[in-house]
Amino acid sequence: MSDPLADSAERLFAAHAGKDVIHAAENGVFPQALWDAVARAGFTAALLPEHAGGVGATAAEAMALLRIAAAHSAPIPLAETMLAGWLLAEAGLPVPQGVLTVAPVRVSDVLTLRRTEDGWHLTGTASRIPWARDAAAVAVLAEGPDGPTVALLRPDGFTLARHGRNLAGEPRDTMAVDTALATDAVAPATFGPTQLRAAGAAVRTVQIAGALSRALSLSVQYAQARVQFGRAIGKFQAVQHNLAVLAGQAAAALAAADMATDALAGGLDPLRVGAAKARAGEAASIAAGLAHPAHGAIGFTQEYELHFATRRLWSWRDEFGNEAEWNGVVGRAVLAAGPDGLRPLLTAA
Amino acid sequence: MQALTFATPPADAGAEALRGEVRRFLDDEMPGRTPLQRAASWSGSDPAFSRKMGERGWIGMTWPKRYGGHERSALDRYVVLEEMLAAGAPVGHHWIADRQSGPSILRHGTEAQRQHILPRIAAGACSFCIGMSEPDSGSDLAAARTRAQRVQGGWLVNGTKLWTSDAHHADYMILFCRTGAREGDRHGGASQFLVDMEQARGNGLTVRPILDMRGAHHFNEVVIEDLLLPEDALLGREGDGWAQVTAELAFERSSPDRFLSAFALLTEAVRALGPAAPERAAVAIGRLASHTLALRRLSRSVAGMLQAGEDPALQAALVKDLGNTLEQDTVETVRLLVDAEPSEEDGSAPLAAVLAHLVMTAPSFSLRGGTREILRGIIARGLGLR
Ligand SMILES: Cc1cc2nc3c(=O)[nH]c(=O)nc-3n(C[C@H](O)[C@H](O)[C@H](O)COP(=O)(O)OP(=O)(O)OC[C@H]3O[C@@H](n4cnc5c(N)ncnc54)[C@H](O)[C@@H]3O)c2cc1C
């Protein structure tokens, strides 16, 4: 690919998202230099419309950046900052600089807005919020008196009830919110929690494709380099076929990422996003289950980098809806369409 | 390792109008056809149906107009293919000619061969069979023993082809055989020929039926004894057979017939389960649909890459391997969702009949067009492991 934006992203992440940076991030050190470089390059604003501070990139370009970041296991809230900015911009609210994240991310968590004399009051608890501890602001999709409402929440408006992490060591915090908000920090949402979940699923799908491509390239390189029984293990047909299956799953995840990107750019059709997230999630499971055996014990160590990719795959497949949840959504749509509606549903452009 | 990439399928504004046309055509043509007939997918053959498609301009769609083609885009063609397959239309008569033989002739044929054959394929009036496999040469195509010897006025062919689908109907065969010494290169010394089957049958070429395990006559043994082919039967260049056949297989491996062969069963399952099906069924059906959508994306991407003149052999092998796996998964998934004992006997419910058909044909999906193991070998080579 001779795409200058993608090339510059490859260089940036290769230079700034090394093993030490990832380990440090997992141990609680926010990768400031990496983040600053990414922000300076305009990547964090890539999904924003230009009037909201965007850089004139297409959704496809933004998602390509996200995929590359994920392929490098860059331990930063790029997906979350893109998603939050997009949510705020859709609602016509200002998009602050710095680390952004979204809430809630779990179906069972609800944040409630009610009107007060001079503005609004937001209350509730939201668990597993990515990077809440580092966020300059949180884009909240709350239940308001007139339906779904977007609120711009600053760090002084919530406390962290729990500092958690996902399997990949990425921050996943519980926020307790009980705060007044000014009128200009609140706006009606153009969509509800289902679409936010779909948008989250779309970005995770793209990230899975990135991490999976990394698991594939590491596995192929390792199979070419590691010698047993007098030859590279990649010369054994059993190993070749496992890696061919792994490549098939990487291809399926790339297709899923493209589907998710299209959906993100145009209406977030739950069928398309659901199919994408479910397919990518399944690919993640199969691929991780092949990349590890191909590496033997070295892949099971902290020293070797495969786990940066596989732990992300194991985390992201369950975030914003796992395969069962999204396949269920797709299946319901298919069953509702019936035998005569099936073909048009699946072959719609 | 080279990064694995699938180009974005090219946009095609006209394709959706075309889709409407194809759907209207199918609405007119398909109602009389039973679910079991539809289950045959692209193995189902109906020359009259192929002619009607030819009249609409839906065969040889991307070929130059001077050869009876229509100069449409690969994506237009894709729309026709997928609508036909998803509906279970009987496209078998022209399928192989449209998919691979025609494109090979367009690429390697002489002007006379193109003029003579391509317009008839595009009209839906000319069918092809593939003469690659032999008794001792299946996956190892380079081991083919059938030999064409240069003689006065042409070529003299001897050998046996096996598993030749539709050799008993086809107007032509593209024959892959030896014409020279390998000279150190296993892939050297092979060529392809255009065999006019009508002239050849009884004049050195004998087609013997082989019944498949369902009892159907689909493929054949083709015994060739001193068959004289004219000089101009050579397709492409003498000795270039291996390169030509490999390119042909890329056309064969990525199109939607490699993942929609079980679509009739999905359709019948959706009908039988209904909208109030239990969650378990919704999840399982949804999974098949999700896989189908992802494959569709990959397959359309390969269609675009072929149109752009790229060589997506790796991508095509990936599509076929994933696609055959989905087709076979569909059978095993649906069986467990419905209470139907598979049976094609008269009076069987449509679901039972379609299930029976697919249980009995599914093993072939990962054999024809290159076995699963061979595809995975090609993928491994593409990854740089071989
Ligand atoms: C329904 C149907 C229609 C067909 N139609 C045609 C047709 O029209 N024209 C035509 O030419 N052919 C046709 N074929 C033949 C088809 O191309 C061959 O079956 C296929 O190439 C495999 O060859 P084989 O059957 O001889 O199996 P073999 O090559 O003997 O293989 C047997 C098993 O060994 C495995 N194997 C072989 N080599 C290797 C290796 N190097 N590494 C690992 N595993 C290996 C295979 O994967 C397979 O599992 C058709 C087949 C079917 C089932």
Which CATH number covers residue A203? 1.20.140.10
Query: pLDDT value at position B318?
Result: 96
CA distance readout (Å), B149 to B131, B177, B186, B229, B325: 17, 10, 18, 10, 41
Question: Roughly how many angstroms between the first and final C-alpha of chain A, as a whole number?
Answer: 25
Which of B133, B214, B360 has most ligand 1 atoms within 8 Å of its beta carbon, as the pocket-test mutant?
B133
Put simply, the answer to whether A252 touches B266 (Cβ < 8 Å) is no
Nearest to A335 among B86, B285, B376 (CB): B285
Low-confidence ranges of chain B (pLDDT < 50): none
> Do you know the residue count of chain A?
349
Residues of B in contact with A330 (CB under 8 A): 285-287, 289-290
Fold adopted by B130-240:
Butyryl-CoA Dehydrogenase, subunit A; domain 2 (2.40.110)
Put simply, the answer to whether A244 touches B284 (Cβ < 8 Å) is no
Ligand 1 within 6 A of CB of B101: no
Q: Please, where are the H alpha helices in chain B?
A: 15-29, 35-39, 47-56, 74-87, 92-96, 102-108, 111-122, 197-200, 241-253, 263-273, 279-307, 313-335, 350-365, 372-382
Put simply, the answer to whether B384 touches A220 (Cβ < 8 Å) is yes
Phi then psi for residue A278, to 5 deg, are -65, -40
A336 burial type by CB count under 10 A (0-12 exposed, 13-18 middle, 19+ buried): middle
Query: pLDDT value at position B111?
Result: 98
Nearest to A259 among B23, B281, B293 (CB): B293
User: Distance from the CA of A243 to the center of ligand 1, in angstroms?
Assistant: 22
Does residue A166 share a domain with residue A295?
A: no
Put simply, the answer to whether B296 touches A346 (Cβ < 8 Å) is yes
Range of the domain at A99: 4-188
Does residue A219 share a domain with residue A319?
A: yes
Which atom of ligand 1 is nearest to B212's Cα?
Answer: 1
Fill in the DSSP letter of residue B124.
T
Q: Where in chain B is the domain with CATH 1.10.540.10?
A: 13-127
What is the CATH architecture of B13-127? Orthogonal Bundle (1.10)
- CA–chain centroid gap for A337, Å, is 30
Interface probe for B, chosen from A208, A224, A285, A335 (most Cβ of B below 10 Å), is: A335
User: Distance from the CA of B219 to the center of ligand 1, in angstroms?
Assistant: 13
Put simply, the answer to whether A331 touches B377 (Cβ < 8 Å) is no
User: Distance from the CA of B249 to the center of ligand 1, in angstroms?
Assistant: 14
Does residue A22 share a domain with residue A152?
A: yes
Tens of pLDDT, residues B232-285:
999 999 999 999 998 888 777 888 999 999 999 999 999 999 999 999 999 999
CA distance readout (Å), B175 to A275, B70, B140, B171, B233: 42, 27, 16, 13, 10
Residue B234, classed as helix, strand or coil, is: strand
User: Is the ipTM above a cut-off of 0.95?
Assistant: yes
Put simply, the answer to whether B87 touches A344 (Cβ < 8 Å) is no
Residues of B in contact with A1 (CB under 8 A): 3, 5
Q: What is the pTM of this model?
A: 0.97
Task: Answer with the one of A188, A215, A245 that is the final residue of a domain.
Answer: A188
Does residue A110 share a domain with residue A89?
A: yes
Rg for chain A (alpha carbons), in Å?
21
Which of B41, B132, B139, B166 has most ligand 1 atoms within 8 Å of its beta carbon, as the pocket-test mutant?
B139
Does residue A72 share a domain with residue A175?
A: yes
The 3-state secondary structure of chain A reads: CCCHHHHHHHHHHHHHCCHHHHHHHHCCCCCHHHHHHHHHCCHHHCCCCHHHCCCCCCHHHHHHHHHHHHHCCCCCCHHHHHHHHHHHHHCCCCCCCCCEEEECCCCCCCEEEEEECCEEEEEEEEEEEECHHHCCEEEEEEEECCEEEEEEECHHHEEEEECCECCCCCEEEEEEEEEEECHHHEEECCCCHHHHHHHHHHHHHHHHHHHHHHHHHHHHHHHHHCEECCEEHHHCHHHHHHHHHHHHHHHHHHHHHHHHHHHHHCCCCHHHHHHHHHHHHHHHHHHHHHHHHHHHHHHHCCCCCHHHHHHHHHHHCCCCCCHHHHHHHHHHHHHHHHHHHHHHHHHCC
Q: In CATH, which of 1.20.140.10, 3.30.70.2190, 3.40.1350.10, 1.10.8.60 is domain B244-382?
A: 1.20.140.10
Spatial distance between the Cα atoms of B148 and B178, rounded to a whole number of angstroms: 6
Does residue A198 share a domain with residue A182?
A: no
Does residue A106 share a domain with residue A75?
A: yes
Interface probe for B, chosen from A326, A330, A340, A345 (most Cβ of B below 10 Å), is: A330
The sign one gets for the Cα dihedral A327, A328, A334, A339 is positive
Query: pLDDT value at position A156?
Result: 97
Does residue A244 share a domain with residue A304?
A: yes
Size of interface A-B (CB pairs under 8 A): 181
CATH assignment at residue A101? 2.40.110.10
| Cα angle, residue B283 at apex, residues A215 and A244 outer, rounded to 5° | 25
Put simply, the answer to whether A330 touches B290 (Cβ < 8 Å) is yes
| Cα angle, residue B191 at apex, residues B188 and B197 outer, rounded to 5° | 155
Q: How far is B180 from chain A, CA to nearest CA, in Å?
A: 31
User: Distance from the CA of B304 to the center of ligand 1, in angstroms?
Assistant: 28
Phi then psi for residue A191, to 5 deg, are -155, 175
Dihedral in degrees, nearest 10, Cα atoms B357, B358, B361, B365: 160
User: Distance from the CA of A224 to the center of ligand 1, in angstroms?
Assistant: 29
Does residue A43 share a domain with residue A103?
A: yes
Task: Answer with the one of A188, A215, A238 that is the final residue of a domain.
Answer: A188
Tens of pLDDT, residues A125-135:
999 999 999 99
* Number of domains making up chain A: 2
Spatial distance between the Cα atoms of A79 and A264, rounded to a whole number of angstroms: 13
Does residue A243 share a domain with residue A170?
A: no
Task: Answer with the one of A144, A161, A188 that is the final residue of a domain.
Answer: A188
Interface probe for A, chosen from B19, B290, B333, B376 (most Cβ of A below 10 Å), is: B290
Residues of A in contact with B284 (CB under 8 A): 327, 331
Spatial distance between the Cα atoms of A151 and A114, rounded to a whole number of angstroms: 11
Q: Which amino acid is at B139?
A: S
Residues of B in contact with A336 (CB under 8 A): 275
Q: How many CB atoms lie within 10 A of CB A14?
A: 11
Residue nearest atom 1 of ligand 1, based on CA coordinates: B364
Spatial distance between the Cα atoms of A227 and A307, rounded to a whole number of angstroms: 22
Does residue A182 share a domain with residue A228?
A: no
User: Distance from the CA of B370 to the center of ligand 1, in angstroms?
Assistant: 6
Q: How far is A324 from chain B, CA to nearest CA, in Å?
A: 6
CB B83 within 8 A of CB B296: no
Ligand 1 within 6 A of CB of B132: yes
Crossing angle of the two packed helices B372-382 and B313-335, in degrees rounded to 10 = 140
Does residue A173 share a domain with residue A207?
A: no
Spatial distance between the Cα atoms of A69 and A207, rounded to a whole number of angstroms: 8
The sign one gets for the Cα dihedral A252, A253, A254, A260 is positive
User: Distance from the CA of B230 to the center of ligand 1, in angstroms?
Assistant: 30
Instruction: Walk along chain A (349 residues) and give the pLDDT tens digit of each residue.
Output: 458 899 999 999 999 999 999 999 999 999 999 999 999 999 999 999 999 999 999 999 999 999 999 999 999 999 999 999 999 999 999 999 999 999 999 999 999 999 999 999 999 999 999 999 999 999 999 999 999 999 999 999 999 999 999 999 999 999 999 999 999 999 999 999 999 999 999 999 999 999 999 999 999 999 999 999 999 999 999 999 999 999 999 999 999 999 999 999 988 999 999 999 999 999 999 999 999 999 999 999 999 999 999 999 999 999 999 999 999 999 999 999 999 999 999 988 6
Is any Cβ of chain A less than 8 angstroms from the Cβ of B23? yes
CB A280 within 8 A of CB A255: no
Query: pLDDT value at position B137?
Result: 97
